[in-house]
Chains A and B, each alone.
Chain A
Amino acid sequence: MPSVRLIGLRKTFGGIKAADGLDLEVRNGEYLCLLGPTGAGKTTALRMIAGLVSPDEGKVLFNGEDVTNTPVEERKAALLPQTYSLFPQLTVEENITFGLDIRGADERLKEQVLISMLDLVRLSGRSTAFPRELSGGMQQRTALARALASGADMLLLDEPLRALDARLRISLRTELRSLVKSLRMTTIHVTHDQDEALVMADRVAIIREGRIIQVGTPKEVWDRPATPFVANFLGQSNFFIGEVLQSSPCTLLRTPDGTVLKGRSSDLIPGTQAVMGVKIGSTELSKERPGYLQAKVERILFEGRNLHMDMMTGGGQRLSAKLPSWKKGRITVGDTVGIYWEEEKGTVFSMPANGLESELKVE
């Protein structure tokens, strides 16, 4: 299975930079999720890897070999588009073998591939059905089988679960991952859904405005976000602006009202302005402890396993917290709570050049 390397890819469409110096390395047999908001350049990156879009600048390497000018059909990379684009007038079987027919594969090979693909995606009983007769999940599996039947050793998935219902999407995450993993294929999966990326990926690459901001295991990108954007895009964070007092062994940040907040060690220079991000799931509330600061609970939303709390500080800052639902009733709307977090959970970033608000923008 091939490794993939993207070096300094640039692509501009009508003045918009879809790729702006994109660097990325995907390992052999790895399941990598390319995560980012709409318009971040995810699909363009995928299409450049597939060979459907040629970059203005930069290189695409498969196993160290430059394939930047290699045509699509020689790259052995199967792209599963967002809308599965199955042929409506062809049966499941005919859809799956379509690529083999085009290449004039002999009947025996065709049959072997077909049987193994139908078996793999559990559609043996539906091989003569037409796409419209299938459920969304089955259509998705047919499209996957068709992509795999081409004999590719790399799989490029463009929002493969997006067309499905929310609940089904959750059920199919593990299924899709184990299917692909069992084939030991190198997989690049584009998504805007951070839960999907966390659950499915070996590593997550976060993309924004045509550049990769951070690559790491789900735990690394969650616990050690490289920028405030990453801290907020994955799981939402509360942010505090202040002046760095010290950066080791823990970082101390003094906010304009004189409160000193604690976060993990950093390499920030004392005296500079900085931003601390704390995940809302790591933001703890207490009616007994004063915490770093106090806020009044304005709204509690039930989200199933979690409660989402929105609060307002005396200084007019909105904060949120996410608690397990079984803690319900301990804190109610109108309560004033102390807000604190474990030192390790506070990540301190240098002040974004264009300000915090524009740094956090997702659209």
Chain B
Amino acid sequence: MMPEVRLEGLGKRYGNLTAVNNVHLTVHDGEYVTVLGPSGCGKTTLIRMIAGIIEPTEGKVYIDGRDMAGVPIEDRDIGYVFQNIALFPHLTVKDNVSYGPRARALPPEEQLRVSRRFLELVRLLDRMGMFPDELCGGEQQKAALARALASGSRLLLLDEPLSALDSRVRVDLRYELRRLAKELGLTTIHVTHDQEEAQSVSDRIVLMRAGAIVETGTPEELYARPKHIFTANFIGETNLLEGWVVEIRDGISVIELRNGGKVEVHQTDHSVGDAVVISVRPEFMYPADEGMRAVVRGITYMGTYWRVKAETEDDEEVDFDMATLDGNLLTIGKDVYLAVNPKAAVLYPRPEDGVEEAIRLE
């Protein structure tokens, strides 16, 4: 059985500063969970409290039902991978990886067997005699991962494991991380600020902001139907348009935007007269015969699509995507009418402190 991690009312205060506030979370056996959020949201403090590197000021950490209060990191049975690759520079890759087995006083042939197994898993067997300095960044991080895995623990904590690497290497390695965790059936908690990384590796994402959890959900839930406006903006890109509900009929809300344009949305949990914000992703907004009027301000080639920036009549910037570029329709300075896919748009109550504040990243 793989360990379950349960956090109950977990908090950390430094004087007046609250780094983590009242976090409740259960990470199930064999689940791959990412803790995602901008700098300073408390995600690193959270994972370090789970690891036992930081002592919480409130609440409890349970691993496999066992209260971890007072249990030091070495007795928690976790594999921990740091952001900055922490290999022993004077040991070969093999000796780095067999460090855990050696510390557990396994016989030498067993140490070798374990380190070979994990080096093979991370596809570094041919590098085992090399020193960390002789490896590329991505390989070093793989070696660090192999070392964490070879410790034999079933709970893997990854603290921004890819952020020191180049983007292409990062993309390749994140698939590896998930593959390994799933192949070995580990429970994994992976901290990152990169929403793409979180989306592609997680069973479930925990999104944090200002020390608290904003919401948790599968990558698809958080992308398609985020419960909070902060999530809508943080995970993927989106257009946020302010307006009022003017009509509700047959499962459709009609929203009048600030610029007078009207947009229909398949969601009716607001009342007529409510001030709302519509979130619509660039791939679900498109030019049509009628709709919101805007002027094309910029066109960027994104490889598989064109990203068009347009300015609405009330000077709001909106982005929409086109699979191919219709030159007649889309040139800079041209007027367009934009329609919104009503099924893919999501409504939120207009935040009291304004949209800017609700989505602020730092």
User: Interface on A for B, CB 8 Å cutoff?
Assistant: 37-38, 135-137, 165-168, 170-171, 174, 192-195, 198-199, 217-219, 222, 233-236, 279, 281-282, 301-305, 308, 322, 324-326, 328, 362-363
Give min CB distance, B215 to chain A, whole Å.
16
Beyond A37-B166, A233-B168, A302-B223, whether A168 also contacts B38 by CB under 8 A is: yes
Beyond A167-B193, A198-B303, A325-B223, whether A136 also contacts B167 by CB under 8 A is: no
- The answer to whether B200 and A308 touch across the interface, beta carbons within 8 angstroms, is yes
Interface 1/0 per residue, B164-205 and A, CB below 8 Å: 001111010001000000000000000001111101100000
Is there a chain A Cβ closer than 8 Å to B302's Cβ?
yes
Contact of A167 among B166, B220, B361 (CB under 8 A): B361
What residue of chain B has the Cβ atom nearest to residue A325's Cβ?
B223
- The answer to whether A363 and B303 touch across the interface, beta carbons within 8 angstroms, is no
Give min CB distance, A206 to chain B, whole Å.
12
Instruction: Specify which chain A residues have a CB less than 8 angstroms from the CB of B219 in the assembled complex.
Output: 302, 304
Is there a chain A Cβ closer than 8 Å to B103's Cβ?
no
B interface, size bucket: 35 or more
- The answer to whether B169 and A362 touch across the interface, beta carbons within 8 angstroms, is yes
Which of B136-144, B253-261, B266-274 makes up part of the contact surface?
B136-144
Tell me the bound Cα distance from A150 to B283 in angstroms: 42
Tell me the bound Cα distance from A280 to B362 in angstroms: 34
**8 smallest beta-carbon distances between A and B, as pairs:** A281-B304, A363-B136, A166-B194, A135-B362, A219-B301, A165-B193, A304-B236, A192-B166
- The answer to whether B283 and A363 touch across the interface, beta carbons within 8 angstroms, is no
- The answer to whether A281 and B303 touch across the interface, beta carbons within 8 angstroms, is yes
Is there a chain A Cβ closer than 8 Å to B293's Cβ?
no
- The answer to whether B138 and A363 touch across the interface, beta carbons within 8 angstroms, is yes
- The answer to whether A363 and B281 touch across the interface, beta carbons within 8 angstroms, is no
- The answer to whether B175 and A301 touch across the interface, beta carbons within 8 angstroms, is yes
Tell me the bound Cα distance from A322 to B305 in angstroms: 12
Is there a chain A Cβ closer than 8 Å to B300's Cβ?
yes
Instruction: Specify which chain A residues have a CB less than 8 angstroms from the CB of B195 in the assembled complex.
Output: 166-167, 304
Instruction: Specify which chain A residues have a CB less than 8 angstroms from the CB of B247 in the assembled complex.
Output: none
Tell me the bound Cα distance from A303 to B197 in angstroms: 8
- The answer to whether B304 and A322 touch across the interface, beta carbons within 8 angstroms, is yes
- The answer to whether A198 and B199 touch across the interface, beta carbons within 8 angstroms, is no
What residue of chain A has the Cβ atom nearest to residue B136's Cβ?
A363
- The answer to whether B200 and A301 touch across the interface, beta carbons within 8 angstroms, is yes
Instruction: Specify which chain A residues have a CB less than 8 angstroms from the CB of B136 in the assembled complex.
Output: 38, 363
Is there a chain A Cβ closer than 8 Å to B84's Cβ?
no
Tell me the bound Cα distance from A193 to B196 in angstroms: 14
- The answer to whether A304 and B168 touch across the interface, beta carbons within 8 angstroms, is no
- The answer to whether B301 and A222 touch across the interface, beta carbons within 8 angstroms, is yes
Tell me the bound Cα distance from A222 to B195 in angstroms: 24
- The answer to whether B301 and A198 touch across the interface, beta carbons within 8 angstroms, is yes
Give min CB distance, B266 to chain A, whole Å.
15
Is there a chain A Cβ closer than 8 Å to B118's Cβ?
no
Give min CB distance, B182 to chain A, whole Å.
10
Contact of B236 among A192, A222, A305 (CB under 8 A): A305
Beyond A135-B362, A219-B301, A282-B304, whether A165 also contacts B166 by CB under 8 A is: no
Beyond A193-B167, A302-B219, A308-B200, whether A218 also contacts B235 by CB under 8 A is: no
Tell me the bound Cα distance from A166 to B16 in angstroms: 28
| Residues of chain B from 320 to 347 with CB closer than 8 A to chain A in the complex | 344
What residue of chain B has the Cβ atom nearest to residue A170's Cβ?
B237
- The answer to whether B169 and A363 touch across the interface, beta carbons within 8 angstroms, is yes
Supply 10 further A-B pairs (C-beta < 8 A) apart from A303-B196, A304-B199: A165-B361, A165-B362, A166-B197, A192-B167, A281-B303, A301-B200, A304-B195, A304-B236, A325-B223, A363-B137
Q: How many A-B residue pairs have CB under 8 A?
A: 104
Beyond A167-B234, A305-B283, whether A199 also contacts B302 by CB under 8 A is: yes
Instruction: Specify which chain B residues have a CB less than 8 angstroms from the CB of A282 in the assembled complex.
Output: 304
What residue of chain B has the Cβ atom nearest to residue A193's Cβ?
B167
- The answer to whether B137 and A302 touch across the interface, beta carbons within 8 angstroms, is no
Tell me the bound Cα distance from A236 to B304 in angstroms: 12
Tell me the bound Cα distance from A349 to B344 in angstroms: 41
Is there a chain A Cβ closer than 8 Å to B39's Cβ?
yes
Tell me the bound Cα distance from A173 to B169 in angstroms: 21
Beyond A302-B223, A303-B199, A362-B169, whether A222 also contacts B303 by CB under 8 A is: yes
Tell me the bound Cα distance from A324 to B302 in angstroms: 14
Give min CB distance, A297 to chain B, whole Å.
15
Tell me the bound Cα distance from A92 to B237 in angstroms: 31
Instruction: Specify which chain A residues have a CB less than 8 angstroms from the CB of B194 in the assembled complex.
Output: 165-166
What residue of chain A has the Cβ atom nearest to residue B178's Cβ?
A301
What residue of chain B has the Cβ atom nearest to residue A201's Cβ?
B300
Instruction: Specify which chain A residues have a CB less than 8 angstroms from the CB of B237 in the assembled complex.
Output: 170
Instruction: Specify which chain B residues have a CB less than 8 angstroms from the CB of A168 in the assembled complex.
Output: 38, 361-362
Instruction: Specify which chain B residues have a CB less than 8 angstroms from the CB of A304 in the assembled complex.
Output: 195-196, 199, 219, 223, 235-236
- The answer to whether B223 and A136 touch across the interface, beta carbons within 8 angstroms, is no
What residue of chain B has the Cβ atom nearest to residue A37's Cβ?
B166
Instruction: Specify which chain B residues have a CB less than 8 angstroms from the CB of A308 in the assembled complex.
Output: 200
Give min CB distance, B330 to chain A, whole Å.
14
Instruction: Specify which chain A residues have a CB less than 8 angstroms from the CB of B193 in the assembled complex.
Output: 165-167
What residue of chain B has the Cβ atom nearest to residue A235's Cβ?
B303
Tell me the bound Cα distance from A198 to B234 in angstroms: 21
Give min CB distance, B168 to chain A, whole Å.
5
What residue of chain A has the Cβ atom nearest to residue B179's Cβ?
A299
What residue of chain B has the Cβ atom nearest to residue A178's Cβ?
B298
What residue of chain A has the Cβ atom nearest to residue B319's Cβ?
A174
| Residues of chain B from 263 to 308 with CB closer than 8 A to chain A in the complex | 281, 283, 300-304, 307
Give min CB distance, B194 to chain A, whole Å.
4
Give min CB distance, B4 to chain A, whole Å.
24
Instruction: Specify which chain A residues have a CB less than 8 angstroms from the CB of B302 in the assembled complex.
Output: 195, 198-199
Tell me the bound Cα distance from A137 to B38 in angstroms: 12
Tell me the bound Cα distance from A325 to B219 in angstroms: 12
What residue of chain A has the Cβ atom nearest to residue B307's Cβ?
A199
Interface 1/0 per residue, B230-250 and A, CB below 8 Å: 000011110000000000000
Tell me the bound Cα distance from A347 to B23 in angstroms: 52
Tell me the bound Cα distance from A192 to B166 in angstroms: 6
Tell me the bound Cα distance from A282 to B302 in angstroms: 12
Instruction: Specify which chain A residues have a CB less than 8 angstroms from the CB of B38 in the assembled complex.
Output: 165, 167-168
Tell me the bound Cα distance from A233 to B303 in angstroms: 12
- The answer to whether A192 and B168 touch across the interface, beta carbons within 8 angstroms, is yes
Instruction: Specify which chain A residues have a CB less than 8 angstroms from the CB of B169 in the assembled complex.
Output: 37-38, 362-363
